Amino acid sequence: MPYVNTADGTQIFYKDWGGGRPVVFSHGWPLNADAWDNQLHLVASRGFRAVAHDRRGHGRSGQPWEGNDMDTYADDLATLLDTLDLRDAVLVGHSTGGGEVTRYIGRHGTSRVSKVVLLGAVPPLMLRTEANPAGLPIEVFDTIRNGVEADRSRFYRELAVPFYGYNRPGAEVSQGVVDAFWLWSMQVGVKGALDCVRAFSETDFVEDLKRFDVPTLIAHGDDDQIVPVVASALESAKLVKGSTLKIYEGGPHGLAGAFEREFDADLLAFLNA
C-alpha cells in the first residue's frame, strides 16, 4: 500500500486515483479516506487526479502517541503534497478535515493550492468561549470522549444516526451507511481518537481563515447536528474574502442520499469553473 513518511517517522496511507489536476480530500473524525470513495471515483472519472489520505491515528496510517493535533495534521498534509509534488491542487476538507485544510493554509500558504472546499467544516472554532458564544459547551465534547472511552463500538454505532440525520422524521435510513461508519470508526486508535476530539473542538482557526487567497466554496447543511452551521460556515464565510457560501436546506453532517448528490454536483461545478 502507498505511504508517505512524516518528519517524526509516522507513515501516512493514501489513495491516488486517476490523472490530471489534483483534488486532495481530507476526511472527518473518526473516519478515514474510505469515507471519500464516492467523491474520489467521481472526480477521477472526470479527468482529475483524486488523492485522499488516512489522518495519523486513523485507518491504515500509523498510530503514534504524540502528534495528534491540528498543527501536525496540517504538516502531514504538507508532507503528502510535497512528496507527491502536487501543484495547482484543490483541497477538499470535511468536518475535522476542513480544519486540517484550514490549518495547512495557515501554516504553509497556497503555493500548491488553487481552490479550497470546506464541507461541514469545524472552523473557525467549535468550542463555546466568551469570544465565541455560538459555540458548543465543553460538556458536549466531554460526552464524546466519555463515550469513546466507555464503549467505543456502541458509541460509534449511535453517533452514525445523528451524523447522517437518520433521527429526523421521514429520513431514509441506510443500514449499510451506518455499518460503514462503524467499521471506519473502529479503525482509529483510542489515543488518536481522544486527542483528535480536542484538536477539532478547541483549535481556533480565525487567523488561518484570514490567510485564504484562493477561490473557496464553504458548504454546510443547515440541519447539521454535529457541527452546527451558525458557529461554523456562517462565520467562516465572513472571514474568507470572496468565498462562496452554499447552505443545503435540511442537510445533515455526513454525506449520504440526496445531500451527497447535491454536493457532488456542486463540487464538479466548482472544480470546472
The average pLDDT across 63-71 equals 98
- Order across the sheet with 216-221: list the strands: 3-5, 11-18, 48-53, 21-26, 89-94, 113-119, 216-221, 244-248
**pLDDT tens digits along 133-149:** 999 999 999 999 999 99
**pLDDT at residue 128 in the model:** 97
Q: What CATH number is given to the structural domain containing 268?
A: 3.40.50.1820
Question: How many other CB atoms are found less than 10 A from the CB of residue 125?
Answer: 23
Greatest CA span in the chain, whole angstroms? 48
> How many Å is the Cα radius of gyration of the chain?
17
**pLDDT at residue 1 in the model:** 72
| Helix (H) or strand (E) run with residue 96 in it | helix 96-108
**pLDDT at residue 153 in the model:** 98
| Residue 196 vs residues 171, 218, 240: alpha-carbon distances, Å | 29, 22, 25
The average pLDDT across 40-53 equals 98
Mean pLDDT for all residues in the chain:
98
Q: Is 186 left (phi over 0), alpha (psi -120 to 50) or beta?
A: alpha
* CA–CA gap between residue 108 and residue 96 (Å, rounded): 18
The residues that are catalytic are 95, 224, 253
Amino acid residing at 189: G
**pLDDT at residue 8 in the model:** 97
**pLDDT tens digits along 88-113:** 999 999 999 999 999 999 999 999 99
Q: What cell numbers appear for 69 in the block?
A: 493535533
Structural domain including 219 reads 3-272
**pLDDT tens digits along 20-38:** 999 999 999 999 999 999 9
**pLDDT at residue 272 in the model:** 98
Contact predicate 94/34, CB 8 Å: no
Residues with Cβ < 8 Å from 90, sequence gap 6 or more? 21, 22, 23, 24, 113, 114, 115, 116, 117, 271
**pLDDT tens digits along 72-88:** 999 999 999 999 999 99
Helix, strand counts (H, E) of the chain: 9, 8
* CA–CA gap between residue 221 and residue 173 (Å, rounded): 17
The average pLDDT across 231-236 equals 98
| Total of domains in the chain | 1
The average pLDDT across 28-53 equals 98
* CA–CA gap between residue 3 and residue 121 (Å, rounded): 26
**pLDDT at residue 211 in the model:** 98
**pLDDT tens digits along 158-190:** 999 999 999 999 999 999 999 999 999 999 999
